Structure 1
Amino acid sequence: MNSFQLYNPTRLVFGKGTVAQLGELVKPYGKRILLVYGGGSIKRTGLYDEVKAQLDGIGAAVFELSGIEPNPRLSTVNKGIEICRRERVDFILAVGGGSVLDASKAIAAGVPYEGDVWDFCVRKAVIREALPLGTILTLAATGSEMNGNAVISNWELKQKRGMGSKLIYPKFSILDPELTFTVPKDQTTNGIVDMMSHVFEQYFSRTTDTPLQERFAESILQTVIENGEIALADGSNYEARANLMLCGTYALNGTLPLGVVTDWATHGIEHEVSAIYDIAHGAGLAIIFPNWMKYVYKERVDRFVQYAVRVWNVDPAGKSDDEIALAGIEATRAYFTRIGAPATLGQLGIGGEELDRMAAEAVLFGPIGSFKKLEKDDVKAILEMSL
């Protein structure tokens, strides 16, 4: 196990009816609020009215930015920055899923910065200050409610890049599982894949002597697997939705990578696919991750054997390590298929015409991953396996 520091300043407010605490949570940060949300589902569900009532109750002046895209655009982020500067906004409130939260974080970082907020994504600048923000989560998936990461897309350049800083951790995040009852099945599926993929990126590591971190990761995976199908069968099952919501948070709130060298190559590959084709992030991960597993598993067969046995209950009797490892990978693919996730890029209408470009962009800043360092040819091979 490596040395580490743990930092997470986000106040997590979890449970039924917790939106009722919004007014008191916002109060310390000012009364000029930018409310950021997506396509309008929060109005159909009544959440918008509840949020506005809470903000009206503290006398807040509310400005709005709606229409955040599933892969949030740089152009939309810039609109938010303009509103914040013009209206002298004190605080940003993100109400939605990971895309809304990520866009809000980018806005928060961009307001005090004199340059282009895209600079943070292409390593031209680092975040030195940011507006405070809070979140109300409506989709369990990305874990953005309790971390300092954000991913946005530059549609003009067909690039999707991330930024990160302790300064863009939400001050608070409200998580009411009932707010996820109306999430469509395909988005629930994508969320399940996304949170499992976050665990994979931190679990498949070359770091040794990390039994607690491994057990944490395995327990999150098992809990997601058990509750995912329940939530898909009954979207209003509170227990299943609550368990998924908490798993999504813990999958990426800084707990799993303590003392561990993590990977993140698969996310890097998927970002290039969705940057060009604008597909759902979870759908892309469902396609690519099992193929990454097949491509790299021999780098550390023992970890894949452990994964197969502990997570998928593969019986090791009479099997070689390779057979056990591959059985675990196949179980992963089978589960993704069972919950309705795509298995090939072809299912999404994606062919091989952009493979070279995607592979080159994925390694623009050098080889990606740590479990196995991937060069351009490696990335292209994994994409070819995914067609």
Structure 2
Amino acid sequence: MRTSLTQLENHKFINQANVTTEEFLDQNIPFILQLVTAYLAQSEHITITDKLMELLLQDLMHTTFKVNNIQNERMEAARSIKAIGYSPQLWRVLNLDENFSIQKITREVSRYFGLSEAAAWSMIWPNWARSIYRKQLDRFILFAENIMIVDSCENEEAIALKGIHAMENFFKILRLPTNFEESGIFPTDDELEQLSERTEVPGCLLVLKCSR
């Protein structure tokens, strides 16, 4: 039986940082979160495509958890995922261009502070998700229940937030930062305003401030 992602927080598959692991994560994490973004942005529930996406995301996340146990195949897997993740065909199929706001923010954060793409995504994605989850509440509930496998409760917003929190735990288990401070970065208000202006994304400044 597959262990739910929310039950893996005590399993330390990654014991120490090394170049290979960092390269693997830098390919996997942005790709996973691009797929999550596309999944959350769907306007309707189509059972078969949703199930396929849910299975793909769970497999990718479980593989990433176990990256330190796949010594010989790790880099080949990273190359394969990179080839898929940056495929123009996949971007068109998933309508990733239409959900480009989070990608603009993470790209600018990565460039501005000299961070890896994986670190930029893990820092920004949770607060970006909290800023928009009410607009896509049904999709966030599906994400929480079917991908992150959180416990259900009567309050729908609470379920959605549990899913976002579970993703944050996913980052923490992989020892990725979930805010600027964990990266040793302490941006000023002026820096965040400049960064927000570069992205030209509405609401970006609030997301950045919440990510401190």
TM tier, smaller: 0.7 to 0.9
Aligned residues: 191
Shift of 1:248: 4.4
Structure 1 CA distance for aligned equivalents of residues 179 and 123 of structure 2: 5
Q: Which residue of 1 aligns with 2:156?
A: 321
Q: Which residue of 2 aligns with 1:80?
A: none
Structure with the larger RCO, 1 or 2 (CA within 8 Å, 6+ apart): 2
Q: Secondary structure at the match of 2:41?
A: coil
Per-residue deviation, residues 252-283 of structure 1 (Å, max 9, x unmatched):
43346537573121111112222222111111
Q: Which residue of 2 aligns with 1:382?
A: 207
Per-residue deviation, residues 166-186 of structure 1 (Å, max 9, x unmatched):
xxxxxxxxxxxxxxxx95222
Structure 2 CA distance for aligned equivalents of residues 288 and 187 of structure 1: 19
Q: Secondary structure at the match of 1:314?
A: coil
Q: Which has the larger radius of gyration?
A: 1
Match of 1:348 among 174, 183, 186: 183
Which consecutive unaligned segments of at least 5 residues does structure 2 have? 1-17
Amino acid at match of 1:352: P
RMSD: 2.4
Per-residue deviation, residues 266-301 of structure 1 (Å, max 9, x unmatched):
111112222222111111101101111111100011
Q: Which residue of 1 aligns with 2:29?
A: 193
- Asked whether the 8 Å contact 1:199–1:256 carries over to 2, the reply is no
Which consecutive unaligned segments of at least 5 residues does structure 1 have? 1-181, 369-374
Structure 2 CA distance for aligned equivalents of residues 207 and 256 of structure 1: 17
Structure 2 CA distance for aligned equivalents of residues 281 and 260 of structure 1: 20
- Asked whether the 8 Å contact 2:124–2:207 carries over to 1, the reply is yes
Q: Which residue of 2 aligns with 1:360?
A: 197
Q: Secondary structure at the match of 2:115?
A: coil
Is the aligned partner of 1:335 residue 2:170?
Answer: yes
Structure 1 CA distance for aligned equivalents of residues 50 and 100 of structure 2: 17
- Asked whether the 8 Å contact 2:28–2:81 carries over to 1, the reply is no
Structure 2 CA distance for aligned equivalents of residues 264 and 383 of structure 1: 16
Shift of 1:242: 5.6
Distance 1:219 1:251, change over 3 A: farther
**1:238-317 matched pairs, under 5 angstroms:** 238=73, 245-253=79-87, 254-255=89-90, 257-258=92-93, 260=95, 262-316=98-152
Q: Which residue of 2 aligns with 1:226?
A: 62
Per-residue deviation, residues 165-213 of structure 1 (Å, max 9, x unmatched):
xxxxxxxxxxxxxxxxx95222222322112122123222153254444
Higher helix proportion (structure 1 or 2): 2
TM-score where L is the length of structure 2: 0.79
Distance 1:259 1:185, change over 3 A: closer
Amino acid at match of 2:65: E
Higher strand proportion (structure 1 or 2): 1
TM-score where L is the length of structure 1: 0.45
Structure 1 CA distance for aligned equivalents of residues 92 and 51 of structure 2: 12
Further displaced range: 193-202 or 242-251: 242-251
Fraction of identical pairs, as percent: 18
**1:95-110 matched pairs, under 5 angstroms:** none
Q: Which residue of 2 aligns with 1:164?
A: none
- Asked whether the 8 Å contact 2:110–2:116 carries over to 1, the reply is yes
Q: Secondary structure at the match of 1:193?
A: helix
Q: Secondary structure at the match of 1:263?
A: helix
Structure 2 CA distance for aligned equivalents of residues 359 and 342 of structure 1: 20
Shift of 1:362: 0.5
- Asked whether the 8 Å contact 1:224–1:243 carries over to 2, the reply is no
